[in-house]
Structure 1
Amino acid sequence: MTKCESASERNPVAVKRKLIEVSIPLDAINKQSAREKSIRHGHPSTLHLWWARRPLATARAVLFAQLVDDPSVREDEFLAEAREKGYEDPEGWVGHRIKQERERLFDLITRMVDWDNLGDEALFDAVRAEIMKSTNGNPPAILDPFAGGGTIPLEAQRLGLEAHASDLNPVAVLINKALIEIPPKFAGGEPVFPGATGTRTDWPKATGLAEDLRRYGEWMRDAAQKRIGHLYPKAKLPGGGEATVIAWIWARTVTCPNPACGIEMPLVRSWWLGKKKGKEAYVVPRVVDRRIEYEIGHDPKLAPEKDNDGSVGRTGAKCVACGTAVPLNYIREQGRSVGLGRALMATVAEGNRSRIYLEPTVEMVTAAEVSEPDELPSGSLPSNPRDFKTPNYGMFTFASLFTNRQLTALTTFSDLVAEARARVVADARSAGLPSGLRLEQGGDEAEAYADAVATYLSFPISRMANKLSAICSWDSSPKMESVRGLFARQAIPMAWDYAEANPFAGSGGDFAEDVAWVERVLDRLPSGEPAEAVNADAAARSYSGVLISTDPPYYDNIGYSDLSDFFYVWLRRSLRTIHPDLLGTMLVPKSEELVANPYRHGGPDGAKEFFESGFEHVFAHARETATDDYPITVYYAFKQSETDDRGEASTGWETILGSMVRAGWTVTATWPVRSELGNRMIASGTNALASSVVLALRPRPADAPVTDRRGFIAAMKRELGPALRELQQGGIAPVDLPQSAIGPGMAVFSRYAKVIESDGSEMTVRSALTRINEVLDELLTEQEGDFDPATRFAIAWYRSNGYDAGAFGDAENLARARATAVSAMERGGILSARAGKVQLYRPVDLPDDYDVTTDQHTSAWEALQHTIRIQETKGIPAAGAFLHEASRRSDGAVDLDLVKELAYLLFQVAEKNGWTKDAISFNGIATSWSELLDSGRTAAPVSTAATLDFDALDE
């Protein structure tokens, strides 16, 4: 841009770029997303289990940045401002104001994504005002057509937007209804349970509904206790007295194939019950009269060790009586033909802030001998050996995943939902509400309110089922000693020994506890604008009048429909008269589910074709009604790369990019969003992988041009350079830079109708991604020319040797080529030269008394190395003060932008060479750069500059 040229003069028809297409405070967003994993009470994810939810913080930030203008669209305004004030450098003023406004928006996002600030209405009023300003007071309605766990629609509603959610899966639709549709309908209403209001007069949001959920949930628990409480007797303690049983620990059994033995041998993964120091407990099996008896051991010296812990593993089992090795094939055949048996190994009772482990008794075994209920949930487990292991052992139906006692408990609670609903209707009418229409018919009076309460009452049953199945195991770790939930991952595994929870024990699997979890979520929901959640196929529904932000299925990662049947069979039993249209099928619909399931589509090739064509159809359909006003956003889980005969790639990633481009979309940005912190990703060796990538896309014009490979690469080199600088200045961490740079690279590739290779073929997405990475490497290398001679030498030497020693002759030749000398750099404190060897100083080896204000020739290399040393030993404030002093010297200030640029470049070098510790240091500086500058300004006074200092004007 020339000094007098405005944005409108350069491109009068340019589309207004949104913040997400330029820069976002990725580190702040990712830190809060990672933090969310440790937040449980009141977090919407605890309402009902769903797989691979996006963090709320990420969705909130993405929606905001999708709608809010990037400050660069205000160039004309800032230019006029500079001219009015008579600045000699109007271009510098424009750049300063854009940076200043971006930082203001970044601060808003940083505060907005913090979980602790969700109740700050003043903050969210400011957030909503910013959205209204960028949308001319008329923000678009937001739609997630793959709504899943409801994160995106919920955050749209929190931001004051009209939210629409749809999903093919009825369980997902129910979750979304509970999060965004039902709460606004009954917001501000008082509870109807007799006496529940007490002296309270204010019931904001859905707090009245939450109170009724708690009250009617208590009634259900008490009613269930009266009906089936006898099935869960208290345990008699050895010294007298009784204690509530938390769980019973069972072992599956199979007849030993050794004819000379033939006992019912236990199949046990681990004998351990509790590993808390000083309170160790474990099961000791003993053979008595050709049967196994179980005792409890406490002596740590006799405790199971790794080589003798349990009796079954990945390859087979071992009989505890005769030592016969039993292959898994035999166990599977026995399970399928006659079924596996079971034996009680231990009873876990509640002690005084501890667990009491008791040996099995006849009374406890007898209490579990319950007849199968008359009405069981129907449905067979899918033929999917990757994710469902129990059919291998004869457990083919959903009902077979539970003991008869568990089935009795779950059916009892399911039946009580209808009885509780009838009570809500009567109590609501007594409170003065007319009957009205049902919830599914759009009602909002007594009948509809009762439907709403019943819907929430069914969710604790789902939560309970997750810990009340015969696939749940016992967690013996010192901090837990509790029942594990079934879905530790997105699969139903086989459990050899299992823990049967007591639904009345006040621990994991307890109904009242699960009601409390649901109530806490409902109590905190925003309950803002009315919203809609519907059952719809993304390929068939309308996209008119809405803006898409969506988290679609991730290729073949998760079979949502198969997994969700586990909950659906119980939800349908409780709610089929309340949501008859939604829960009309026996199981969740599967044939249209957009997942690359090789077990459903004739193998990997058929699954890939189904997913690719289906995904392309969805986004081509969405393209038909898309506008240029806003980009859409799409999340994609970035998966480990696979290697094939064409090299290394990520099939799902390439497939989704290719489908979007073919469907008529241009990729304008890609942002790696994580629920793990960056340094952890580096340390684990997976720094190139993000939890997921958010893509921003705009419609590609119908008359988009065609170009060749040379034209594509030339355009990339022109545009990726400025984009790279923008990413670095925007605070993107080096670890995230390669994934973020895909956005501007794909923006070039996808703006063309096609790119023609030199052999006349059409360039593939895989080839385009390779070219983007090559150009990125070139651009980062070209940045070396910006640095001073000493720094250029140090970069080249580091690339070859790291911080290890190398030959003096090689170093001197390298130095001369960069117009410096080894002796000069030795005097400057960059390296040591002894005995014919040259070695760069590590940050930790640099002197603590270094004074940057007296060093006449501080290179960018020195400044970065000392910043690392100070940050890692004294913290960010001290490192920030150092940078501040370096930048304020009157006799040759250090260019801080170059110091930051150097951190990015060296991260790339360290990462490629596998120097993990170095990579963490460089990433840490770049990631905390804004904080370093802020703390530096606070720590040191601002000196007078001879020229206009835009940063100083901010202070």
Structure 2
Amino acid sequence: MSIRSPKKLIEVALPLDDINRASQHEKSVPRRGHPATFHLWWARRPLAAARAVIFAQMVNDPGGERGYYAGKTRAQADAEREELFHILRDLVKWENTNNEEVLARARAAIAQSWRETCELNKGKPGFDPDVLPAFHDPFAGGGALPLEAQRLGLESYASDLNPVAVTINKAMIEIPPKFAGRAPVGPAIEAERGTKKATKDAFDDWSGARGLAEDVRRYGAWMREQAQQRIGHLYPSIEVTPELIAGTALSTGATGQKDHQNAGLTGLQPGQQLTVIAWLWARTVKSPNPAFSHVDVPLASSFILSSKAGKEAWVQPVVEGDSYRFEVRTGKPPESAKAGTTAGKRAAFICLMSGVPIDYKYIRAEGAAGRMGAKLMAIVAEGARGRIYLAPTPEQEEIARQAVPGWKPETALPERALSFRVQEYGMLTWGNLFTPRQLVALSTFADLVPETIARIRADALAAGMADDGRGLDAGGNGATAYAEAVIVYLSAALSKQADWCNSLSSYIPAIEGLGHLFSKQSIPMVWDYIETNVFSNSAGNYLNHIEWVAHAIATLPASTNSMALQCDAQGQQITASKVVSTDPPYYDNIGYADLSDFFYVWLRRSLRPIFPKLYATLAVPKAEELIATPYRHGSKQAAEVFFLDGMTAAMHNLAAQAHPAFPVTIYYAFKQSDTKKEGGTHSTGWETFLEAVLRAGFTLTGTWPMRTERDARSIGIGTNALASSIVLVCRPRDAAADTISRRDFQRQLREQLPEALETMIGGTSSQSPIAPVDLAQAAIGPGMAIFSQYAGVLNQDGTPMRVHDALVLINREITEYLTPDAGSFDADTLFCNSWFEQYGWAEGPFGEADVLARGKGTSVQGVAQAGIADSGGGKVRLLRWADYQAGWDPKLDARNPVWEATHHLIRALNTQGEAAAGALLAAMPDKAEPIRQLAYHLYTLCERKKWAEDARAYNELITAWHAVLEASREQGPRGEQLGFDA
């Protein structure tokens, strides 16, 4: 049965700048309340991007079957498209995440488009205008996409092979709607002083998941109280003594003067108890010097405690005979303190006792033999005016060694894994990543789960909640299930505690802050680490994690009934007749399964009684994980085949099942790019992924570069990323698709790609031009749309063309289109372009420049007179934009090549801003188009040459292009001659 599917907005146009800007902004907003703070996950997509993509793939483009092809004028279609853009611009703003008025407009537009689509397919199965299709993400991961689909009013399904990911998605989309609108059942928390209820006014009402969030606070506080009663003795405070106040407990600074201001001791009284925030330890090994082989010497990467101006503090080791101790000193530290006992990468460390080098081979051998220990270097305490740094005491060190865990995770770490470094130092199980005191704390909180469940259930029944006797896994929604739901969130807080409460977390002197393990998607070795006080009031304490989780819960939609399931993307049947947007694994960038075992071993201890099937195995499933890991598959080639075959099967599953009225959108993180000399950006992972998508039967109808991670100014040219994500827009390929020859493919590229590129770099009334940094990825869309619509493109020998070769041809056409020789550029500009490609801003021989200039129809003397080059002493060099003179007036310049105009415009933009650049452009409207094309070309050239700073200047000119055009219009009639829609 033939389906009529109107083109969706995402297949035609997007306000990409607005989406990218909102995605970047979301990374910088205060994080409390952001769903990402509920539980750590790696490479999670921004909510803004997820929301925008799902909305744009569900609404019809006004210029399609329901647009001017059906009787509307182009102007009417453009106006309607601009209204959708207006919704999108509001929708992606962080402050509008839960703005019901904005969300209602978005939901209404989705519903209207669905009714239009149903009208075109009246009577066909799956096209009920009153029932929106459900959403599915088969690689749900951290859950941003299913969550935003739910926020847009769709019934949302999330599936993943990884149990940690499934748990995150259950917590975000499945559990909240079950208990939406319920008041908390737990006793309100009493304030520390007085009788005021500390949480009574946390919310004005208990709508959505706010009541659930409040119970997480209340029962989290109860668990902390119970844990402190049981193990609080392991986290002792420090008593203020007269010696401490007098400064004798702190050593003198480099000047010999006591520095009480930096020590934070002012205002303290004898007998006062100071709460310890953290204990700072250094790992130790036996000295390799035979004379000191009985001494455990420290492996300290730094002795600096605080590098804040005016608050400097450091650890001073004091050697006494065949032993040593640590003191804490304040004031400006000596240079030697910054390096600790390190001695460079090859030598690794230096023996504190003898000065003998300690290399990594020796350290690894000591670790493997179980002889690596730790010594307390300093204590960080809460003072009246900030941090207080104290020398370690034998009592504090002894108390830490008294901790004897009754349980620890014995699950083995992988022998080899992406970004794992600890195994070679003798850390072979997950339990080895924690100190005994940390293990006691984490297992105590986990062991409190059964008591807490019973308490919550009893309170829920007392509050009048009915009970069906079924738990969450059995679909219950009464008191039993509610008690388990609260535990899911409290277990997430335990995961957060583990991220901070391990022996791979560092202290950060620059901010006097506590660090945590997963600042990156890796498990590196850490030589000096902290033990945080789980009962303190500073970062890393248990109640702080409870607060983060509770705030995140309160922002969840808790609206449409949704579901999270564990299943393999290759065989799942959930996708049937659903809208699909997904963010699959990234080839070999992140080892999700290996990394998430860190959390799994603790979640399993708490949640196995609640989700017995989900947590049945000892570790996260690995064999089926779709990443290309040579250590699992025997070789790099075998890993690539595994990834290609598995991803092809998963993509085929989507192509066969997804709702035919909607394109499928797929994210790919472009993090392995390498710019080649032939032009364009290539990556084994990217090409293999594209190959899988096309083999699965998809054709590409668009690609959108979305900066979901970094600001354009921070993008390194020729490094790991250009745009951080590419969103592929895919439709199933026509079953009757034919094959074409390589020559026909090249002909179609030449005929069709220029128009698509012109739309991208020219922009429209609603859409800014694609920035040069994103053009290579965006242009893949129209290029691959040609390639992928055919069953195959055949080379001259009859073999099918690979994606790699197609990308090379597409990139070549892009380069040809942008090169100045292909346009109507003046001779001076053509000379400058060729000279720049060979020498950049460096000097070159006059004779060579003379020959080149004559070949381009100009002269060296001419380009020098134009003010764009210096010539003298037998050498020639181009002037940088910063060398151009201010006050230049193009109307008074008799020789004004496009090269000169472009760099004067860059100078005006960088030194005076968009208004000044606009005024300059208004004085030379005939050069606007060539300037824009030259800027694109020069960016591409600089990217290929890996000239990052130069490339940035051209990219920023295009990024600001619409603003410059708008400013030029404000200059009067000259601006109106530009002929562009700003």
Report if TM-score (shorter chain) is over 0.5.
yes
Separation in 2, partners of 1:174, 1:427: 25
Match of residue 494 from structure 1: 525
Other structure's SS at 2:452 match: helix
Match of residue 757 from structure 2: 724
Q: Aligned partner of 1:235: which letter? A: I
Matches within 5 A, 1:5-24: 16-24=6-14
Question: Is 1:60 the counterpart of 2:92 in the alignment?
Answer: no
Cα shift at 1:452: 1.3
List per-residue Cα deviations over 1:74-126 (Å, max 9, x = no partner): 696389565xxxxxxxxxxx3x6665555544443333222123243322222
User: Runs of 5+ in structure 2 lacking a partner?
Assistant: 116-128, 189-196, 246-269, 764-768
Matches within 5 A, 1:89-100: 94=74
Cα shift at 1:788: 6.3
Match of residue 86 from structure 1: none
List per-residue Cα deviations over 1:19-68 (Å, max 9, x = no partner): 32333333332233223332321121111111111222222222222223
Q: Aligned partner of 1:130: which letter? A: A
Cα shift at 1:337: 2.9
Q: Aligned partner of 2:905: which letter? A: T
Match of residue 688 from structure 2: 655
Other structure's SS at 2:317 match: strand
Separation in 1, partners of 2:824, 2:634: 55
Cα shift at 1:837: 8.5
Cα shift at 1:363: 1.8
Q: Paired residue for 1:145, among 138, 143, 155?
A: 138
Cα shift at 1:264: 1.9
Match of residue 48 from structure 1: 39
Match of residue 162 from structure 2: 169
Query: Equivalent pairs: percent with the same residue?
Result: 46
Match of residue 186 from structure 1: 179
Matches within 5 A, 1:810-821: none
Separation in 2, partners of 1:881, 1:741: 31
Match of residue 546 from structure 2: 515
1:70/1:861 CA distance change after superposition, 3 Å: farther
Question: Is 1:775 the counterpart of 2:813 in the alignment?
Answer: yes
Match of residue 540 from structure 1: 571
Cα shift at 1:745: 1.4
Other structure's SS at 1:599 match: helix
1:389/1:42 CA distance change after superposition, 3 Å: same
Question: Is 1:738 the counterpart of 2:785 in the alignment?
Answer: no
Match of residue 113 from structure 2: 134
List per-residue Cα deviations over 1:474-512 (Å, max 9, x = no partner): 2222x2x23321123222222222211100112232000
Q: Aligned partner of 2:64: which letter? A: V
* Contact 2:140 2:146 (C-alpha < 8 Å) held by counterparts: yes
* Contact 1:418 1:454 (C-alpha < 8 Å) held by counterparts: no
Q: Aligned partner of 2:22: which letter? A: Q
* Contact 1:880 1:935 (C-alpha < 8 Å) held by counterparts: yes
List per-residue Cα deviations over 1:500-540 (Å, max 9, x = no partner): 11001122320000011111111212223222111111111
User: Runs of 5+ in structure 1 lacking a partner?
Assistant: 1-11, 83-93, 888-893
Separation in 1, partners of 2:306, 2:773: 40
Matches within 5 A, 1:316-715: 316-384=348-416, 386-436=418-468, 437-477=470-510, 479=511, 481-542=512-573, 543-626=575-658, 628-641=660-673, 649-677=682-710, 679-681=712-714, 683=716, 685-686=718-719, 689-715=722-748
1:808/1:608 CA distance change after superposition, 3 Å: closer
Cα shift at 1:254: 2.3
* Contact 2:303 2:340 (C-alpha < 8 Å) held by counterparts: no
List per-residue Cα deviations over 1:146-167 (Å, max 9, x = no partner): 1111111111122222221101
Matches within 5 A, 1:233-382: 233-237=236-240, 238-239=244-245, 240=270, 241-262=272-293, 263-300=295-332, 302-305=334-337, 309-310=341-342, 315-382=347-414
Cα shift at 1:836: 9.5
* Contact 2:7 2:65 (C-alpha < 8 Å) held by counterparts: no
Separation in 2, partners of 1:13, 1:454: 46
Other structure's SS at 1:73 match: coil
1:265/1:451 CA distance change after superposition, 3 Å: same
* Contact 1:186 1:444 (C-alpha < 8 Å) held by counterparts: yes
Q: Aligned partner of 2:277: which letter? A: I
List per-residue Cα deviations over 1:816-848 (Å, max 9, x = no partner): 888889999888877788999987665445554
Cα shift at 1:710: 0.8
Cα shift at 1:170: 0.8
With normalisation by structure 2, the TM-score equals 0.86
1:675/1:544 CA distance change after superposition, 3 Å: closer
* Contact 1:157 1:180 (C-alpha < 8 Å) held by counterparts: yes
1:123/1:287 CA distance change after superposition, 3 Å: same
Cα shift at 1:350: 1.2
Q: Paired residue for 2:68, among 65, 69, 77?
A: 77
Cα shift at 1:176: 0.8
Match of residue 891 from structure 1: none
Separation in 2, partners of 1:806, 1:180: 63
Separation in 2, partners of 1:691, 1:853: 42
Separation in 2, partners of 1:516, 1:127: 31
Other structure's SS at 2:408 match: coil
Separation in 2, partners of 1:148, 1:360: 43
Other structure's SS at 1:600 match: helix
1:803/1:273 CA distance change after superposition, 3 Å: closer
Which of 13-22 and 692-701 deviates more? 13-22
1:35/1:224 CA distance change after superposition, 3 Å: same
Other structure's SS at 1:282 match: strand
1:932/1:112 CA distance change after superposition, 3 Å: farther
Separation in 2, partners of 1:643, 1:863: 29
Separation in 2, partners of 1:782, 1:75: 40
1:611/1:787 CA distance change after superposition, 3 Å: same
Question: Is 1:229 the counterpart of 2:232 in the alignment?
Answer: yes
Cα shift at 1:884: 5.0
Other structure's SS at 1:304 match: helix
Match of residue 802 from structure 2: 764
Cα shift at 1:798: 5.3
1:909/1:569 CA distance change after superposition, 3 Å: closer
Which of 307-316 and 331-340 deviates more? 307-316
Separation in 2, partners of 1:849, 1:666: 52
Which of 217-226 and 899-908 deviates more? 899-908
Q: Paired residue for 1:122, among 93, 101, 121?
A: 101
Which of 236-245 and 213-222 deviates more? 236-245
Other structure's SS at 2:632 match: coil
Question: Is 1:157 the counterpart of 2:190 in the alignment?
Answer: no
Separation in 2, partners of 1:342, 1:282: 18
Cα shift at 1:898: 4.4
Match of residue 3 from structure 1: none
Match of residue 22 from structure 2: 32
1:676/1:408 CA distance change after superposition, 3 Å: closer
Match of residue 87 from structure 1: none
Separation in 2, partners of 1:494, 1:472: 10
Separation in 2, partners of 1:950, 1:713: 31
Which of 618-627 and 698-707 deviates more? 618-627
1:128/1:865 CA distance change after superposition, 3 Å: farther
List per-residue Cα deviations over 1:625-647 (Å, max 9, x = no partner): 24543221111222335799999
* Contact 1:387 1:493 (C-alpha < 8 Å) held by counterparts: yes
